Amino acid sequence: MTASLPNSHSALSHSMFQNVVFPAESALESSDGNGQSLADDSLMLRRLLRFVPPPDARIEEIPVVVFDFETTGLDAQQDRIIEIGAEKLIGFEVVDKFSTLVHTNVQLTPQIQQLTGISPDMLAGKPPIEQVLPEFFKFIDGSLMVAHNAEFDWMMLKAAATRLGYDVDLPCFCTLKMARVILPALENRKLDTLAGHYGLEFTPGSRHRSAGDVRVTSEVLRNLVTVDGDGLECWKDLQPYQVV
């Protein structure tokens, strides 16, 4: 798969999407002690999606993708993504959107169906993750990633990517971490609490659906940075809130 790369002379010239040879997991367990594989066929071709913005790049000038997943559960290895929602922002204005349900053979528990409102019938006939993820990678290439409680969504994304032969090395930061520092007086920093604090509302039925959560998270991010985030101007200012 190919993805468009920013102009090599632009401030965003640090993005790359390339093929890289990595040792397969079995090779890591079968070496001569010096890191050399003992098997000629132990290398596998993986695809690397990478973006390293310049430290002084201004936040308002870098593409930012706010994203959210709905999943079958909380285990990145056993559970699967069933919905992806994302908005691409430049200068905190929405310039593009990505939204899709994702078919999976993993059973949806009654708890997940009740929480999200997503039923097995809704996933029938939807594209599988093998089809969706490469398209999502095109969408996010060359962007900062943002989510609320981002550790979970980032863990799910990297696990899904690994299963499909991708390695993702994009900066991802968390509005939950930001709010804990910027808004210490709030009772908690749940998304609903932050929405109430900033006078935001979820449209009916949109809570715990990816597109709805993303829309509110985008507005929370804008307020955290431009209203309450004194001194948050460049990418380096956001690094304390980054997840790995």
- 197 among known catalytic residues: no
**Of 103, 148, 197, 208, which residue is the catalytic one?**
208
3-state helix, strand, coil in the chain (%, to 5): 35, 25, 40
d(CA 10, CA 130): 32
What does the alpha-carbon distance between residue 72 and residue 78 come to, in Å, rounded to a whole number? 9
For residues 194 and 172, give the distance between their C-alpha atoms in angstroms, rounded to a whole number.
20
**Residue 87: partners with Cβ closer than 8 Å, 6 or more residues away:** 65, 66, 67, 94, 96, 97, 98, 214, 215, 218
Q: Work out the angle between the directed axes of helices 150-163 and 129-140 (0-180°, nearest 10).
A: 120
Helical axes 175-182 vs 150-163, angle rounded to 10°: 160
Q: Which residues are catalytic?
A: 208
